[in-house]
Chains A and B, each alone.
Chain A
Amino acid sequence: MYKYTQEQLDSMKKVEATRQERLNNLFARMSADEKQKVLKENHPDYIDSAYEELKVGPNKGGKVLHELADLLQGRSRVLDMDLDLTKPDYDVDVLVIGGGGSGSCAAIEADNAGAKVMMVTKLRIGDANTMMAEGGIQAADKPNDSPAIHYLDAFGGGHFAAKPELLYKLVNDAPDCIKWLNELGVMFDKDKDGTMITTHGGGTSRKRMHACKDYSGAEIMRTLRDEVLNRGIPVVDFTSAIELIKDVEGKVAGAVLLNMETKEIKIARAKTVVIATGGAGRLHYQGFPTSNHYGATADGLVLGYRAGAKLLYADTLQYHPTGVAEPTQIFGALVTEKVRSLGAQLVNKDGEAFVYSLETRDVTASSIIRECRQRDNGIKTTDGEGVWLDTPMIEMIGGEGTIEKRIPAMLRMFGKYGIDIRKEPILVYPTLHYQNGGLDISADGMTTNVPNLFVAGEAVGGIHGRNRLMGNSLLDIIVFGRNAGKSVGKVYKNVELKELTLDHVKAFDKELKDAGLNPTKLSPQLLPNYTIQKDI
């Protein structure tokens, strides 16, 4: 049994007392106006003081969070290096930066097209946000559903801001991507007759969430990794890209690579580059804990920005409504939305429901913040505060055994600390989860203004608009990862590289100085620092 405080235990009793009643009377959905209000008053994206204006670069005048501004306008490591670009250590057709799901898909498709591909990744292939996705992946493949309905759900959920041509691709290619994964051997949850077991996610109007228990991302990632290795695609691990290289004509032409352990520098020359570096949770925007992996530090955005690529919606982040609030050892870790899809409700300290469980993520997260900050109905925790997520309801609805069968990772994660989620509710609070914005691309995956620079996955901005629905990100990394791989597989054939240069980095640095900035912080960030700084 976990050592809850007396206050927490008393509150837990109230949750139990109202359970049956809440099960019978679902909390009503919000109207459009109510949603606007709760977002404006509570969502971290609306806190002006957290933002600043960019002084240089393609998005000059646009606003981003301070933490990102510091990096976008940070100091490049290569300025202090004396590099010979004429003798590259690697020479390839396609350089994929990032060994997560989108990078792996791009590598596989480029390999299919006959290109000489190389993948570099900061940690190991698969040490990535993709590995951690629990809930599932959307695709409109049931008879009562269609890509058009999927389009409307995603467009509305993203506040009508998605780039239509990207969203079109996302929903229209979705079923084919599920089929592709299935044929690679991904074990989707299916009924005996082969029908996919699908559920709702926040903001879906049809049950189109496909899953592999609550190891959906892990099952997809390990299959993709196995496939990359089977194909003999070289994976240079523990190696980060720290700057993009261009040729004298302004086309992207490779990257400067840093060995994370030995600090050795290598030069990769490449006819095309795919940025697949994922998200930014480890920047801990506005002090939030995060659900992201260790290497999620927005590097791709910095690399692209310095090379002249535009950002889209980089000011909007997703705070997942249910990060772990207690126990402290796993503070900020994700409690998958599937827990709510299966019937668990959000409940305040008095045992009252306060929001319909499956509103879109931004609305749900804002409602939790309101419940705690405005209404003082939260429960104190070791690291702050939280609300209850009433997990025992899942088995009242789905029957005994549902939790073990459908969300085993959750059962295990809490079980390690003596909490049996089948019997007791858990404490949750929003956690920094997903980078909604990123580099601006066209439907072929290429950045809108840097030739031969492609982007896929969470590093892209615009696919989802200003908020993303659960299950559409795993989908986007497959759709746009493959798409980028297919595009570079064609493009590289007609690329002739000229002399390589890092002049754009020097020019960017000059711009910084001209704007009165003299940054000392090195960027990209690469890894967070959680050690206690000891100066020697």
Chain B
Amino acid sequence: MEKMVNVFLFGKKYEVPASLTIMTAMEYAGYQLVRGCGCRNGFCGACATIYRIKGDKELKACLACQTQVEDNMYVATLPFFPLVKQVYDIEKVTPSQQIMMQLYPEIYACIGCNACTKSCTQDLNVMQYIAYAQRGDHEKCAEESFDCVMCGVCSSRCPAGISHPQVAELSRRIYGKYIAPETQHLLDRVKEIEDGKYVELIETLMNKPIEELKELYNNREIEK
């Protein structure tokens, strides 16, 4: 017999196999999911969920698709949270601190409670990356926030009303575009292609009979 546990979905009790995730437990209970389910694999942040184990003081947050059920788990999903995303033109922003002050001034109201970090479903140091953003250190903010799936749990716990994932998104784009070192070999190759340097080479290949291409393919040199 498979081991079963009791979970409370939105307060209602269901008995489900202990091996399930919160997401598959909901389906087992009969919910046909539409909201709150995207990639089913920890990348999209659609399945943010809050839970408490009966008797525990601590409220925990997780991704429903990545978390196994436990006995006496009280579950509430958070399929949407009103994050604020400011609109900007990536071509016109400058890699400065001012941009944060303009677009997301509320980050300077952070009271340092660390509730964001404690609730992060990816175990990121959220408060730290907000501190980097405050200073306009986009590189560090981008690096520290890189694994963010933008589920929004941090923001739901924030007394200052910060939309952490959106702040980090801005920093990452600024870093990627303006601060990360330029790739010369990429620019060179794009130029060569624009100049038509490879047209003939590829066209010659395209016009070869399949048998000859097979020969070439099977004997091609492979970089170590």
* Chain A contacts to B: CB under 8 angstroms: 32, 123-124, 126-128, 131-132, 140-144, 146-149, 151-153, 155-156, 160, 164, 168, 171-172, 175-176, 178-179, 182-188, 190-196, 200, 205-207, 213, 215, 217-219, 222-223, 226-227, 229-230, 232, 238, 260-261, 291, 293-295, 328-330, 333-334, 382, 408-409, 412-413, 416-417, 527, 529-532, 534
Please judge, given known A-B contacts A156-B214, A183-B177, whether A164 and B142 are in contact too, CB under 8 Å. Answer: no
Judge whether B10 is part of the interface by a CB distance below 8 angstroms.
no
B189 close to A (CB within 8 Å): yes
Given A155-B217, A178-B186, A291-B41, does the pair A230, B87 have CB atoms closer than 8 Å? yes
When distances are taken between beta carbons in the complex, the residues of chain A under 8 Å from B198 are: 146-148, 172
User: Smallest Cβ distance from B79 to chain A, in angstroms?
Assistant: 9
For residue A213, which residue of chain B has the nearest CB?
Answer: B146
Q: Please tell me if the beta carbons of A409 and B42 are within 8 angstroms of each other in the complex.
A: yes
The complex places the Cα of A534 from the Cα of B222 at a distance, in Å, of 56
Q: Which 8 A-B pairs have the closest CB atoms?
A: A185-B173, A127-B38, A156-B217, A194-B181, A185-B176, A185-B177, A187-B176, A148-B201
14 extra A-B contacts, CB within 8 A, seeds A179-B190, A217-B43, A261-B35: A144-B223, A146-B198, A148-B202, A156-B213, A195-B183, A196-B186, A207-B223, A222-B150, A223-B173, A230-B88, A291-B41, A329-B24, A531-B31, A534-B30
**A-B CB contact pairs (8 Å), 11 listed:** A123-B37, A131-B44, A155-B213, A185-B176, A187-B180, A205-B223, A238-B34, A260-B34, A329-B21, A329-B68, A413-B66
- Is residue B58 within 8 Å, beta carbon to beta carbon, of the partner chain? no
- Cβ distance B162 to chain A, nearest Cβ, rounded Å: 17
Residues of B bordering A, CB below 8 Å? 19-21, 24, 27-28, 30-35, 37-44, 46, 66-68, 85, 87-90, 122-123, 142, 146-147, 149-150, 169, 172-177, 180-187, 189-190, 193, 198-199, 201-203, 205-206, 210, 213-214, 216-218, 220-223
Whole-angstrom CA separation of A148 from B200 in the bound complex? 9
* Cβ A215 vs Cβ B39 within 8 A: no
Please determine whether A200 and B40 come into contact, CB atoms closer than 8 angstroms: no
On whether the beta carbons of B214 and A218 are closer than 8 Å, the reply is no
Q: Decide: A409 and B217 in contact? CB cutoff 8 A.
A: no
Which chain A residues lie closer than 8 Å to B202 at the CB level? Answer: 147-148, 151, 168, 171-172
Taking the closest CB of chain B, its distance from the CB of A24, in whole angstroms, is 15
**Cβ contact within 8 Å between B90 and A184:** yes
Q: How far is the CB of A198 from chain B (nearest CB, A)?
A: 10
**Is there an interface contact between B37 and A294, defined as CB atoms closer than 8 Å?**
yes
Q: Given A128, A142, A172, A219, which contacts B193 in the complex, CB threshold below 8 Å? A: A172
Bound-state Cα–Cα, A182 to B173, Å: 9
Taken together as a complex, chains A and B put the C-alpha atoms of A146 and B220 apart, in Å, by: 13
Q: Give the residues in chain B near A328, CB-CB below 8 Å.
A: 19
Partner pick for B38 among A187, A227, A293, CB 8 A cutoff: A293
Contact residue among B89, B169, B216 (Cβ-Cβ distance under 8 Å from A152): B216
A532 near B220 (CB under 8 angstroms)? no
CA distance A195 to B218 in the complex (A): 30
* A294:B39 contact, CB within 8 angstroms: yes
User: Which A residues are in CB contact (< 8 Å) with B190?
Assistant: 141, 175-176, 179
* Chain A residues, Cβ within 8 Å of B24: 329, 530
Distance in angstroms between the alpha carbons of A39 and B85 in the assembled complex: 49
Minimum CB distance partner of A168 in chain B: B202
Looking at the complex, which one of B35, B37, B176, B210 makes contact with A186 (CB distance below 8 Å)? B176
